[in-house]
Amino acid sequence: MEIATGKDLFNIVNKGQTLAFTQFYTSFFQKLLLASHKYVKDAFIAEEIVQNVFLKMWESPEDLEHVMSIKAYMYKSVINASINHLNRQKNIEHHHQKIAANFTDGYLVDTDDENELIVLLHREIDKLPPQCKRIFKLNRFDCLKYREIAEMLQISERTVENHIALALKTLRKSFTEGKSTTGRFIISLFLY
């Protein structure tokens, strides 16, 4: 079966035709992998990006219904996901550089101070409203994505986002009030 439009693929996914989807996947995978690799320069990351694009298509076929050229859509999706990955990496690298810049000779923390900071942080987190605290811990300690938390708690992603924003705002405020190096240290490591 020739899959030329998003409507074709939409129909295949909606009918649960896994064999047809697998054939589609197989016919495009290598080409999309090469396209992603041109951007990210890492075969494993490129493979993950391409697989995530296919997974999104399988999980949300309604996004495909009005796509005129499935080939163009696939390439555009993979290239956008690759660029988004590079932007995230750049932001992480920038954040790490900011953290490193905060470390001067007098600013290094020994183990006792580190334990004190952790206790202080947990005390402040415990002051958050119960739902806000739970969502914050799931995101920051269990490394769950907003979508995963929303599904687990049966709430919207927007609600999760609002709780995280409230928690971060509250914690930033409590740690920056004294403008101490301890507060800056916690903020730079954990609250961004």
pLDDT higher than threshold 60 for residue 105: no
Element (H, E) at 93: helix 70-102
Q: Which of 59, 60, 57 is nearest to 74 (CA)?
A: 57
d(CA 19, CA 186): 51
pLDDT higher than threshold 90 for residue 47: yes
- Per-residue confidence band for 11, with pLDDT thresholds at 50, 70 and 90: confident
Tell me the pTM: 0.51
Task: Provide the token pair at 171.
Answer: 């914690």
Domain ranges of the chain: 6-91, 103-190
Residue 58: per-residue pLDDT: 82
**What mean pLDDT value characterizes the chain?**
80
Residue 43: per-residue pLDDT: 92
Instruction: Decide: residue 98, CB within 10 A, 0-12 exposed, 13-18 middle, 19+ buried.
Output: exposed
d(CA 48, CA 126): 36
Supply φ then ψ for residue 185, to 5 degrees.
-60, -50
pLDDT higher than threshold 70 for residue 179: no
For domain 6-91, give its CATH number from 3.40.50.300, 1.10.1740.10, 2.40.10.220, 3.90.550.10: 1.10.1740.10
pLDDT tens track for 59-103: 887 877 777 888 888 899 999 999 999 988 888 777 777 666 665
Residue 139: per-residue pLDDT: 86
d(CA 150, CA 115): 31
Q: Which of residues 63 and 188 earns the better pLDDT score?
A: 63
CATH 1.10.10.10 fits domain 103-190: yes
Q: What percent of the chain has pLDDT over 90?
A: 32
pLDDT tens track for 28-39: 899 999 999 999
